[in-house]
Structure 1
Amino acid sequence: MDALTPEDLDFLRRPLHGFLTVAGGEPRPVWFEATAGGVELFTEPDALKVRRLRRDPRASIVVAAPVGERERWVSVAGRVSMEENGAHDLAARLAARYWDLDDPVRAADLKEILAADQLRVVIHPETVRRYTY
């Protein structure tokens, strides 16, 4: 089993979009949070990706450096767990990372997210690949 390195975690703590892929689906951009234990994201319980993950609980996420920086990417693949706790806290942390919550429009967007049921999806790393040029 591969693990995320401290360098991977530093890179993944930036406000970058990850591209999530689940069996039978196309890559979708997502917010995420990486920890030594895996990569977490939140989603609505009735989302298509959740239905697909219930059939085949494997997923991968690829995160790349933006244009203008040296080429770099990290890919994490593994089995997922879907947790009913912690999704709203994760959503609030990620919104603060990706959005300016002093903007009333973004604050209202977050309030809407927090008003809906959410699941926390955790990708448990089985394979970690990286590239830096």
Structure 2
Amino acid sequence: MTGEYTLFYYITQRLHFFPSKIPQELLDSPEINKAVLQIEESAYSDAQLWGYDEFWDAVRVEKTLVSDAERKGMEKGMAKGIEKGIAQGMEKGIAQGQSNERKETARRMKNDGIPPETIAKYTQLSIEEIEKL
């Protein structure tokens, strides 16, 4: 404890007479830095303290507004993304189903002996695709 009081005394003396002369190695310590800030704040006049409090209140309000806007933006973006994903999935599913149905029709036509050119005409499949069936 004696060391802490010595540092505190050193800081208060230096801050009182030479606030800009506090060694950086002392300011690098979180505890010392906090003590320096408290000492600086305690030297504020009532008007300065009021202004200081008003400033931090404004900062908190701004952070809240930004945070709310980000959250709402993310929710809106997620909802649009989900809608778009569902629509794309449905389109893909329908296209895949139609493709599977054309191939199945072509397979049946091929099994019945219908020429590949005729099958291609009605199923819109290429002759190569029909031959692979």
With structure 1 as the length reference, what TM-score do the two structures score? 0.22
Structure with the bigger percentage of helix: 2
Which structure has greater strand proportion? Answer: 1
TM-score by length of 2: 0.22
